Amino acid sequence: MNKMQKLAATAAVSAATFAMTAGSVFAATAPDFQHLGFPKVAASATIRPDHAATLKYGHLVVHVPAGAFSSQVHFELLEGAVQQFAMRAPKGEKVLMDFAFKATNTKTGALIGKFAKPIIVSFTDPAITAHSEYWNVAPDGKLLANPLKPKIAGHTLTHGNLGAPVGWIITTPAMAQASGPMEVVIKNGKFNPGIVHLQKGQRLKFLFDGMGTDHFVVRGVVTSPLVHVGQSWTYVFNKPGTYHVQMKDMGYIQMTVVVK
């Protein structure tokens, strides 16, 4: 079983449990969240029943498996204003992303509220931690904790959705985000993670867990002092752009830093 199959299996169990937990929340048709706080169409696709589709918007990836719908649909990924949800977020939580789905039967024009297979959402961001949360946004705007915890691996949060009776937001503890710099580790001949996304002015800590000594090099910008095993070096990325980082003596060990 490959990674996507494992994610799909996990999401299927999660979404099925959610359906049972939610009870009558799933209906034949869904609320139109484009008029309920998520006005922007961030991505869209027309999907046949036997076709899969992947929609991407920023750090959000939505995978629609083949067979999710019994008829052709026009599927839209919707987004609202993060600031609006931030005002309603639980105390101590920072909103990282908000989104909703709108699936329209292309023949009848009806909105579809329940899917035959779970649609898998993955969101990757340096602010994602083991304490990040996945919340439902009801049609009346109320926030409710999703009864199923998301799967979190590194800085990626994954969740399955078997319908569109609600919208969603992803949050992370505000204190955890401000507690210190993001960290990458060099070990076994590679950087982990190999790519990170930062905000302008954010610090990145490089921890050397390799062999011997070496320097970290942000190409064309700066070279760190000599670091030994167990030592670290922290750099503040103050300008937006894409940076390539490598080891000075082991130049084949590389990573990418994207600053917005």
Cα–Cα dist 74/76, whole Å: 7
Low-confidence winner among 62-71, 76-85, 123-132 (lowest mean pLDDT): 123-132
Q: What does CATH list as the number for 180-259?
A: 2.60.40.420
Where do the structural domains in the chain lie, given as residue ranges?
3-174, 180-259
Q: Does domain 3-174 have CATH number 2.10.50.10?
A: no
Low-confidence winner among 100-104, 126-130, 172-176 (lowest mean pLDDT): 172-176
Which tens digits make up the pLDDT trace of 116-156?
999 999 999 888 888 899 999 999 999 999 999 999 998 89
Q: Which two tokens stand for residue 211?
A: 């062999």
Cα–Cα dist 127/34, whole Å: 27
Q: Of 98, 163, 94, whose CA–CA distance to 128 is shortest?
A: 94
What mean pLDDT do residues 86-111 have?
94
Peptide bond into 193 cis (omega under 30): yes
At residue 8, the pLDDT reads 47
Which tens digits make up the pLDDT trace of 12-41?
444 443 433 333 344 556 899 999 999 999
